[in-house]
Structure 1
Amino acid sequence: MKNVIDNSKKGLYSLWYGVAAMLFILSCYSCEKDNLDVQEVFPFEVKVMPVPKEIGTGETVEIRITIVSNGNYNGNQFYIRYFQNEGDGSLRQLPLKPYLPNDLYPLLDREFRLYYLSKSIVSQNFDVWIVDGFGNEKQLNFQFNNKKLTPPIR
């Protein structure tokens, strides 16, 4: 009779060891990176308020921009760069110095204002890129016709 009790205890212990081993194996499979849904890329949109269609030499246009992200990842940094395609002018955020073409500058806020100063008597065209830390980028194009100034009447 003692052998029957000892064998049933051994069987019970074997069952518990088997259950523990199965739980361990299942927990290892559930921790594989391929099965985790970790979002590493957060797409974003760039909204721009309307700007004038014309600009005169020496005039400045304010460009209001807001970056709207689909997710909220605190570690994501945004950057800006621009390139002047036609005409001559400078782009900056106050109180910073004017941006150099094709250089990348960090953006401190997701809502900001740019100021474009016209230095040209012809039409002007430039592109602005907003880039995030994940490599996503949005391109904005700005075109200004030359404002025909009429001389004052005497």
Structure 2
Amino acid sequence: MITFFNKFRIGLLPMYVLLAILISSVTSCNKDELEIQNDFPFEVKVMPVPEEIANGNIVEIRLTIEPTGNYSNTQYFIRYFQFGGQGTLQYYDEPPYLPNDLYPLQAKQFRLYYTSHSTVSQSFEVWILDNFGNEKQLSFEFNSSN
């Protein structure tokens, strides 16, 4: 009978060692040490736009945000500032953006529409930002045409 229990204990020894290693590895994991990347820089691709615009005309600006990785909770925002001439910038058929206000973007591929309200050259900048602090600045300049 003693032999049976001795064999039984020896047979369980590798399982106890395995269990101890498993518990040690799980408890030694510190969640502060886990690195899950969710902050991905991005590029913004812009299709070519005309160089000239007449007062009252509209230019379509096609943009695509291309992140270097994929994280489903990344949110993108847009803001703009006009520093030359006068015009309005809007997302599809939504109301025009107000300068320096931050607006959420609904998609990574979208179109903006710039309407000229000026007979002189017009210049403005667009910033695309994400919720991790990454940003890209785009500059646009249109010469006046009649």
Q: TM-score range by the shorter chain?
A: 0.7 to 0.9
Q: Aligned partner of 1:84: which letter? A: Q
Q: What amino acid sits opposite 2:26 in the alignment?
A: S
Tell me the equivalent position of 1:85. Answer: 83
Residue 130, structure 1, aligned to residue 136, structure 2: no
Compute the RMSD of aligned alpha carbons.
2.5
Aligned residue in 2 for 1:70? 68
Q: Which has the higher strand share?
A: 2
Q: Superposition pairs for residues 139-150 of structure 1, below 5 Å?
A: 139-147=137-145, 149=146
Once residues 145 and 14 of structure 1 are traced to their aligned partners in structure 2, the CA distance between those partners, rounded to angstroms, is 83
> SS of the counterpart of 2:24?
helix
TM-score scaled by structure 2? 0.84
- TM-score normalized by structure 1? 0.80
Q: Name the structure 2 match of 1:22.
A: 21
Structure 1 runs (4+) deviating above 6 angstroms are: none
Q: How many residues align?
A: 145
Match of 2:112 in 1: 114
The amino acid that maps onto 2:23 is F
Unaligned runs of 5+ in 2: none
The AA in structure 2 aligned to 1:42 is: F
Where in structure 1 are there 5+ consecutive unaligned residues?
150-154
Percent of aligned positions that are identical: 54
Name the CA shift for 1:74/1:15 in 2 (closer, same or farther; >3 Å): closer
Shift of 1:16: 5.8
